[in-house]
Amino acid sequence: MKFRAVKGLLIFMMRQLTLFDDLILPMRTTHDDAKYLLHELTKRGNVIGTDEAGRGALAGPVVAAAVYLTPEQEEILTAMKLRDSKRITHAGREKLFSAMQDIGVLWCAYSGGVERIDRDNILNASLWTMGQSVSRLAKRMKAPPACVIVDGTERIPDTDIPQWVLVRADDLIPSVSAASVVAKVIRDRLMAILGTRYPIYDFGQNKGYPTAWHIDRLRTFGMSEQHRRTFCRKILQGRGKF
């Protein structure tokens, strides 16, 4: 009965697509609901997914990716246990990323540096990087995407592509899961490079996130050029943990 009710709501919402450019879907969407939704969306054309990595870090950029999967590519990656990148090991993410290259998955990634994060705040910087990756991917596609599925609760500003904002899309929609993997792999590699330039913070291990060791290094040595000042100020002022 519950599934019927949610499915009925989804059908109603899908019928509104001619009336609204954007749509925020139910926050408690199940895998079955998401599968049905994706099936309905693909009837309108190509669907791409977007997600970001690094939103909660103290240092380094936020990286977003946009991905388009063909049905065949989706089947291959799903069989490899594609899901939200946070629920996959480092080795598993690298394996999936390598497989995406091998099967020719179309993707684009973009980063927003610490200056933009401090200036615009992390939410706006994340949405901006997602928008940049989406627009660049759309230009590489043979046909304009019918929509982009955005992980989270906020829509991407300044885009003409219809959007569907979905909580947990990174674990429900394969193209968004793939985007989360691409963004995470690329950001981890960038942080490993920064780790060689700023060895006292060990970015290669903590990826800029607020581990106890990272916070101790921050309090001992202060901020590097790669630290987000708006994030770190509270720690350096001794007003508690991040």
Domain span at residue 91? 2-189
Q: How far apart are CA 200 and CA 44, in angstroms?
A: 51
Chain segment 102-146, per-residue pLDDT in tens = 999 999 999 999 999 999 999 999 999 999 999 999 999 999 999
- For the entire predicted model, the pTM comes to 0.87
Per the rule left: phi > 0, alpha: psi between -120 and 50, beta: everything else, 127 is alpha
Domain count, the chain: 1
Is-contact 176 69, C-beta < 8 A? Answer: no
For residue 13, how far is the Cα from the chain centroid?
24
Whether residue 222 is contained in a domain is answered as: no
Whether residue 177 is contained in a domain is answered as: yes
| Rg, Å, the chain Cα set | 19
Chain segment 3-52, per-residue pLDDT in tens = 455 555 454 444 444 333 444 444 456 778 888 888 888 888 999 999 99
Whether residue 113 is contained in a domain is answered as: yes
Give the 3-state secondary structure of residue 38: helix
CATH number at residue 36: 3.30.420.10
Name which of 225, 191, 54, 67 is nearest 126 in CA terms: 54
